[in-house]
Structure 1
C-alpha cells in the first residue's frame, strides 16, 4: 500500500480543529504530514518524514524555515515519494487561484475555501480541467454547509440522472439565528432587530464586523457553488440579485462600532416587514434559491408560510431543500449545524479520507 502525503495551509479555528481530527485517524488512514503553514511561518519536512502533529504549535512558532511561496509548495509536494494532497483551511483568494497549479502536478485538493469555487467562472473551469488532466481530486464539501452533506448529495442527484428543478433554503447559520430569533414561529416577543444583532455579535454568532454577514455575500457564494454543480453557468456571486441587510446610510460606516451604534435608527424598517409577514400568518427568513429551469438565482428576505421546514427552523441551523423529479412535491431536506470550526473541520477530514482511500 503506497503512502500518501499531506500539506496543510492554515491553522486558524478550522485548521486547529482539522489537525486535532487528523491526529486521531488510524495510522493506516492518516497521510504523512510533511508541510504546515500559517501566514508568516511554515514547517517543511525536507526528508518527507511525518511532522509530529502533537508538537506543531511549538514547532511552528520556533521554525526558522524560509516561507515557501505557493509554486514552491507545489513543487515540494510533486517531488514526494507518493501521491500528495494539499488541505487549504484558509479563505485566501491567492491560495484558491493556485489550485490549478497544484492539480496540474497531480496534487489533490481538499478545502472549505468558498472563494475557489465561487469566484470567476474561468477559475472554476481551470480547477476542474486541471484535475481531469492528471486524475487529481478536488473535494470541497465544507465550502457549503460546513459538515452537512450538501455538495455530495447534489452531485449524487445529478450523477444518477435525477432532474433537479429547484434548490432553496437557509444557507447561513448567522442569518438563521438572527431571523429565528427576530421572527420566531411561535410569535413570542423577540426584541428589536438591532438588539438581536448586538446579542449575536456578543455571542460570537456573527463576524467581528456584522456587516460581513449582513451583506449576504456568504450566502451568495454558496448559491454560486450549488448553481454551478447543478449545471448553471453562473459567473459569480455578484451576477444575481443579493439583498443586503446593511442600510444604505450605514454602508460607509468607518467601523463595526459605528455601524452598531447607528443600527437602532433603522429598526423600524425591519419591524414593518416582520409585522407584514405576521399579518399574513408568515415569518421572515433570509432565503437563497436557485430555479434550475429558468437559471434564476437570488438571495434575500422572504415571507415564509408557518408550518414549512424553513419557518420551523430553530437556533442557527442551516436547511437546504432539493426539489427534483424523483422526489416529487416533497423535497429532499438536509438540516443541521452549518457553521462552526469542529463541524467544518469534520467535513474537511471526511473529504481527506475519501481522497486517501481513492488514491490507495
Structure 2
C-alpha cells in the first residue's frame, strides 16, 4: 500500500508477535513499514523506503525524539499510522501531537487512556478535529484480543443504555482465585503457594506486587467507565483493594515479599472459608455502576453458578448489563499474552487501513 506508511514503537513480546502477524497480512492490507524502534535503537530511512525488522539490531540510524518522529511521519508521502506496543507514559502523552498532525495511532498502551482525564480529552479532541484524517484504536488496552471496547462502543453508539459492567479483568487474578478457591472446593494450596506457583509459571509480573496491587485492573475499569460516559479522573479516584498486606507494602524486594507472604495466609484463608459458608466463592472483581457513577475493584464473594464464579484457568470475563441485555452480554477468553494482545493490535490496524484507504 504505497500511500500508507507504518511506524512501530516497541518490539518486545507483543511487538514481536505483532510484526509476525503484520507479515502474514495480505499485501493490500499491509502498510509500508518505514520506522521501527526498540529501547535505544531505531531503524528508518530519510526517503521513506521500506525497511525490514531484521535489520534493526545493526541499525546506525540517528535516534529521533518523539517530536522529531512526529515531524518525520507527518512529512511522509502519504498517510502515516503509528503502532505503539509499549506501556510508556511519555509516548502516550505524545498521542495528541501525532493525531493533530494527521497520524493515526493504534496501541495496547493502557496509560494513554487511564491516566489523566485531560490527556483522554486531548486525544479524542485531536481525533474529532482531524475530520477523519486521524484515528485512534486501543482495543488491546482492556482485553487483549477480546472485543471488549468495540462491543461497549457499539452498545453506546446504537443507543443502548449501559447500566453496569462487571467482571474479572486480570488473567493473573483469574488464575490465582480459580486455583485458590475453585467452585468445587478442591483448592488445597495456601494463598502464598498459589502466588508462588503463578509467578513460576509466568502468570504474574516478575514482581507479583505489580499484579496484586490491583492497579492493572483499575486502569482497565477507568477506560471502560470513561467509554460508558463517566468522567472518571483516574484509577486513584475510586476504591481499589490491594492484595498486598499493609505490613509488606514497604519491603524492598520481590524476593523478600515472597518470603514473608506466608505470614498472611490466614487472612485469605479466613475470607475463603467465610465465603464457602455462604455458598459462595472469592473472586477479584471490577465493577462499574453507571447509574450511580461508582467504580470499584476488589475481593467479592460471588454466588456459585454465576459466570464469574464459573470462570476457569486464566481467562478474563466481562459482563455488560444494559437495557437490551438485562441478562448480561458476556465476553470471555484469554485477556493477556503476547499473541492475543498483538491480535487486538493487528485487528485495530486493519480497521484503520480500511478507513484510510
TM-score, length basis structure 1: 0.98
Structure 2 residues not aligned, in runs of 5+ = none
2:211 to 195, 210, 213: 213
Return the offset for 1:2: 6.0
Tell me if structure 1 keeps the 8 A contact 2:2–2:32: no
Distance 1:236 1:224 in 2: 6
Q: Deviations over 1:255-303 (max 9, x none)?
A: 0000000000000000000000000010000000000001000000000
Residue matched to 1:357: 354
Shift of 1:189: 3.2
1:180 corresponds, among 165, 178, 181, to 178
Gap regions ≥5 residues in structure 1 = none
Counterpart in the other structure of 2:13: 13
Q: 1:264 aligns with which of 257, 262, 265?
A: 262
Q: Does 1:348 align with 2:345?
A: yes
Q: Aligned equivalents of 1:258 and 1:195: distance in 2?
A: 15
**C-alpha separation in 2, matches of 1:326 and 1:60:** 50
Of 90, 96, 111 in structure 2, the residue corresponding to residue 94 of structure 1 is: 90
Q: SS of 1:90's equivalent?
A: coil
**Corresponding position of 1:142:** 140
Q: Hey, what's the Cα distance between the residues in 2 that align with 1:86 and 1:190?
A: 47
CA distance in 1, matches of 2:226, 2:195: 32
Query: Could you give the per-residue CA deviations for residues 93-149 of structure 1, whole angstroms, max 9, x where no partner exists?
Result: 000000000000000000000000000000000000011111210000000010000
The residue that corresponds to 1:123 in the other structure is 119
1:147 is paired with a residue of what secondary structure? coil
* Correspondent of 2:79 among 80, 83, 86: 83
After the TM superposition, which segments of 4 or more aligned residues of structure 1 sit over 6 Å from their partners? none
Q: Contact 2:179–2:187 (CA<8 Å) still a contact in 1?
A: no
What does residue range 266-285 of structure 1 map to in structure 2 within 5 Å?
266-285=264-283
Backbone CA RMSD of aligned residues: 0.8
**Residue 250 of structure 1 corresponds to which residue in structure 2?**
248
Partner SS, residue 87 of structure 2: coil
> 1:31 maps to what in 2?
31
User: Following the alignment from structure 1 to structure 2, what is the Cα–Cα distance between the partners of residues 335 and 273?
Assistant: 26
Match of 1:241? 239
Corresponding residue number in structure 2 for 1:336: 333
How far the C-alpha of 1:39 sits from its partner, in A, is 1.5
Please state how far the C-alpha of 1:60 moved relative to its aligned partner: 1.2
Aligned residues: 355
Normalization by structure 2: what TM-score? 0.98
Deviations 1:77-102 (A, max 9, x none): 10111110000000000000000000
For 1:48, the equivalent position in structure 2 comes to 48
